[in-house]
Each structure stands twice: as structure tokens, then as C-alpha cells.
Structure 1
Amino acid sequence: MEQGMAQDLLGCEAVADTENSECVLGIVTNYLLWSFFKSHEDYIEYEEATLMIVSGMPTKEGLKMIAGKIYTLLSDD
């Protein structure tokens, strides 16, 4: 996860520079752990979530939570 987050943040910075974007989004996951990034010009918003698993399967509530975080990340402020 740490290596993925470092790569994601470097990728966000590269996209922001090449595309002249003020805001770039990123998600890093290993299926259970999720890290969400919203990189702005002078700061980075960061949030974590853990997918809830019961009997080896993700719960409906867990999937809704992850989908909700992705929706919020993509929503215009």
C-alpha cells in the first residue's frame, strides 16, 4: 500500500504538471484497504476505508461505502 500510494501521488503530480490541472484524483487499493486522494494545487485531501468482509465476501454495506466514497471523490464541490 505504501509503495502504491507513493506511486499514485507522483502520478498525480505528473498529470497535474503535464495537463496543467489544479485537481487530480487517485485511488490505491489492495481490495480490503482503500486510499482516496484528491490532489489540489497546494494540498492533498486523503481518506482511508476498509472494505467489510463476511464469510470471505464483501458486504453490501461495505460495497456501498466504497462506492459512496468514489462518488464523493468524483462529485463537483
Structure 2
Amino acid sequence: MAEILPLTRSPQDRLQAALRLLAAAQAEQRAAISAFRENLYVLRDSTTKLQDSVHGWHRAVAATGRDLETAREAVRTLEATAARM
């Protein structure tokens, strides 16, 4: 069976290799942080649109409630008029 000899690398070579790996990891991290920030902006915009939509829905429900109350008053007036006849 053949003996596997370890490759000897100088400390300088190991340092350079480690620095290259570190630089690559930092580049990946920068890209990930950039993508994360972009997604936060998208989330902010989406929640703003959702908030606007909910406020619009709330206004519509309130207007419907007012319309209903107006209709109830009209029905009561008609009932009172019919009762007097």
C-alpha cells in the first residue's frame, strides 16, 4: 500500500490561502446583507400598502355603518308614518 505524504506548505502560503477564504466569505456576507436590506425595504413597502388597505377598509366599514344607521332611521320614520295612517 502506498504511503500518503502530507503536503508541506509554508506558513506564508497557509496565511495567503486563509486570507483568500476570508475575503471570499466577506464578499458573500456583503452580498447577503445587501439582499437582506433589499428584502427589508420590500417588506416595509408591503406593510405600508397593507396598512393603507386596512385603513381604507376601516373607512369603508365606518361609512357602511353610517349608511345603515341612516337607513334604520328612514325605516323608523316610515313605520311611524304608517302607524299614524
Question: What TM-score do the two structures reach when normalised by structure 2?
Answer: 0.23
> Which structure has the highest helix share of the two?
2
Flag the structure with more relative contact order, 1 or 2, with Cα contacts below 8 A and sequence separation at least 6. 1
Question: What TM-score do the two structures reach when normalised by structure 1?
Answer: 0.25
Structure with higher Rg: it is 2
> Which structure has the highest strand share of the two?
1
